[in-house]
């Protein structure tokens, strides 16, 4: 892993009316890492993700992605941003009237590709995401929850992004499906050299996938580090999160037996 930050956030403030979600939030995401983002419900993990990818406008602060000022990009920067990342939202956020293949082709539409090439690329991403070939012609309503997530992942990979944002990728999956998804994320990250920003509540995912973890609390990133480093912190929420019974079951092999 090369350790230069591909995402740099400084002094981020986000708010909805008088309700402040982040205040003075700083974060670096290193190139090539899977960064897990955890925090209590409502601490602003998804809002942070949406702010980085430009779906929400922060009240203050700077966000730089691969050297591009996301909040005020130059024309050249704006053109590069489109292909720099892919996003997998929690429920897949698929277009219900399009097949899986057509969904994966949506981000490719602005590119000057012939329909057969677009189709072939979409089929490649579908297969990389672990879906069977016949899934491409199915509509989202015909897919299981796990398949929808894989289709969402295939669409996130459509433009060969450097960074993939995943919002609770294993939420709602059974433990076997969740473990398969963890392996898929880790495998794709290593094979493609991706950087992954992964919002999760899933302790097994943190253990199986993440190189580092950022903890959101008190309107900012309270701490970052490996699981071992975070387990040593005395902050009450961090301590309970990383040392509670569920954490012990996920992180301590001896307790798992």
Ligand X SMILES: Nc1ncnc2c1ncn2[C@@H]1O[C@H](COP(=O)(O)OP(=O)(O)OP(=O)(O)O)[C@@H](O)[C@H]1O
Give the footprint of ligand X on this chain (CB under 6 A). Answer: 16, 21, 39, 41-47
- Phi, psi values for residue 195, rounded to 5°: -110, 135
Identify which of residues 43 and 99 has a Cβ nearer to ligand X in the complex: 43
Identify which of residues 7 and 100 has a Cβ nearer to ligand X in the complex: 7
Beta bridge partner(s), residue 215:
38, 223
Report the side by side order of strands in the sheet with 212-217.
85-88, 163-167, 195-199, 34-39, 212-217, 220-225
198 vs 175: CA distance, rounded Å: 18
Least Å distance between CB 237 and ligand X? 13
Q: Within 10 Å of residue 237's Cβ, how many Cβ atoms?
A: 15
Least Å distance between CB 80 and ligand X? 26
Identify which of residues 52 and 194 has a Cβ nearer to ligand X in the complex: 52
Torsion of CA 192, 74, 29, 209, to 10 degrees: -30
Identify which of residues 3 and 41 has a Cβ nearer to ligand X in the complex: 41
Identify which of residues 52 and 154 has a Cβ nearer to ligand X in the complex: 52
Least Å distance between CB 223 and ligand X? 16
Residue appearing with tokens 């591009």? 68
Identify which of residues 17 and 245 has a Cβ nearer to ligand X in the complex: 17
DSSP letter for each residue of 158-174? TT--SEEEEESTTTT--
- Phi, psi values for residue 103, rounded to 5°: -60, -45
- Structural tokens at position 236: 């009450």
Identify which of residues 28 and 168 has a Cβ nearer to ligand X in the complex: 168
Least Å distance between CB 18 and ligand X? 11
Under 8 Å CB-to-CB from 223, ≥6 apart: which residues? 214, 215, 230, 233, 235, 238
> Which H or E run includes 228?
helix 227-231
Least Å distance between CB 141 and ligand X? 24
Least Å distance between CB 45 and ligand X? 4
Least Å distance between CB 13 and ligand X? 13
């Amino acid at each position: 892993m090369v350790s230069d930050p591909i995402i740099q956030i400084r002094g981020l403030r986000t708010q909805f009316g008088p309700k402040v979600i982040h205040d003075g939030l700083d974060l670096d995401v290193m190139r090539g890492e899977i960064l897990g983002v955890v925090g209590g419900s409502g601490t602003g993990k998804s809002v942070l993700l949406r702010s980085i990818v430009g779906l929400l406008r922060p009240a203050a602060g700077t966000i730089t992605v691969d050297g591009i000022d996301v909040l005020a990009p130059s024309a050249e920067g704006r053109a590069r941003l489109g292909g720099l990342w892919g996003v997998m939202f929690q429920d897949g956020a698929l277009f219900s009237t399009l097949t899986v293949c057509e969904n994966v082709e949506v981000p490719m539409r602005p590119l000057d590709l012939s329909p057969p090439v677009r189709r072939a690329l979409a089929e490649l991403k579908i297969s990389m995401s672990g879906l069977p070939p016949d899934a491409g012609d199915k509509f989202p309503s015909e897919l299981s929850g796990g398949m929808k997530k894989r289709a969402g992942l295939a669409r996130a990979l459509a433009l060969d992004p450097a960074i993939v944002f995943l919002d609770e990728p294993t939420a709602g999956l059974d433990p076997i499906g969740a473990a398969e998804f963890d392996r898929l994320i880790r495998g794709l990250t290593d094979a493609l050299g991706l950087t992954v920003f992964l919002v999760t509540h899933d302790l097994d995912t943190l253990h199986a996938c993440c190189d580092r973890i950022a903890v959101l609390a008190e309107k900012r990133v309270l701490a970052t580090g490996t699981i071992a480093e975070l387990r040593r912190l005395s902050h009450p929420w961090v301590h309970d999160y990383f040392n509670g019974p569920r954490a012990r079951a996920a992180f301590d092999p001896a307790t798992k037996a």
